[in-house]
Amino acid sequence: MEKIYCCYCSSTDKCLIIKIRIRTFHCYFLTTAGFLSNIKRFVIKTPMPKQPQPNRLILASQSPRRRYLLEQAGLNFEVIPSTVDEDAFATQPPEKYVKTLALAKADQIARQHPACWVIGADTIVLIDGLILGKPDDGDQARHMLRQLSGNVHQVLTGFAVRSINHGHEYAAVVSTRVHFKNLSADEIEWYVQTAEPFDKAGAYAIQGLGTFLVRKLSGSYTNVVGLPVCEVIEHLIQQNVIGLDVKNGMIKQGSD
């Protein structure tokens, strides 16, 4: 039974002023003569109904490019980079490598924040079965750019969505074919000197100065940048993690 307090004496059961009888949903208050004027009010404390909480999204990556893509898509999220050792997965085939690594990143952060929905991702550049990582120095960058020059390569991005409390685990791989123009020695040297290649897989950034290196591509552009936004948003909508606010033209967070 809900407690009813007398604001005059703060009593709940031994009030000399008020005696309470509960019949169904009606309360009858019997007062002692002369004291009614001293009673200011009665406060009935009722438990507040639990309000639905919006889904909390986390990006388990320190990549500024992935962060930018999700911000441009209108998502509200936090960034908590994973610390998964990528070298532990290096012996796997390319598609399995990016998929497994993306899931490992998402899972690590999801276990630290079990109520949240966590997005993990990993991107590689693949040419003739060889994975091109991030160049360590100018010589490696020049070598990679010569390999890509005039050729077609693949960009594979594995992405994963994980939530412990919701029992959800999903991972997929998106592939894009990228056609490079023939690069002259001067073009390669100029691009290396810009320093843009050094923190990029395959030694180029399609969203930066490296955009002039690409003749055409087949598939997702954002996948080459670092995250297949179409596929990620599509999956989040399917799971009711986010929704489309048609009236206001916005993306809204779903709720539990």
Distance, CA of 195 to chain centre: 29
- Please tell me the distance from the alpha carbon of residue 152 to that of residue 228, in angstroms, as a whole number: 19
Q: How many H-runs (helices) and E-runs (strands) does the chain carry?
A: 6, 13
Neighbours of 193 (CB within 10 A): 11
Q: Cβ of 54: how many Cβ atoms within 10 Å?
A: 14
> What's the distance, CA 38 to chain centroid?
57
Select which of 122, 136, 139, 256 is catalytic. Answer: 122
Q: Are 247 and 144 in contact (CB under 8 A)?
A: no
Mapped onto helix, strand or coil, the DSSP state of residue 154 is: strand
Report how far residue 76's alpha carbon sits from residue 59's, in angstroms, rounded to the nearest whole number.
10
Tell me the β-bridge partners of 121: 159
d(CA 193, CA 224): 22
Give the list of residues 6+ apart from residue 236 with CB closer than 8 angstroms, or none. 57, 117, 161, 242
Query: Does 122 qualify as catalytic in the annotation?
Result: yes
Q: Which SS3 state, helix, strand or coil, does residue 162 take? A: strand
- Catalytic sites, residue numbers: 122
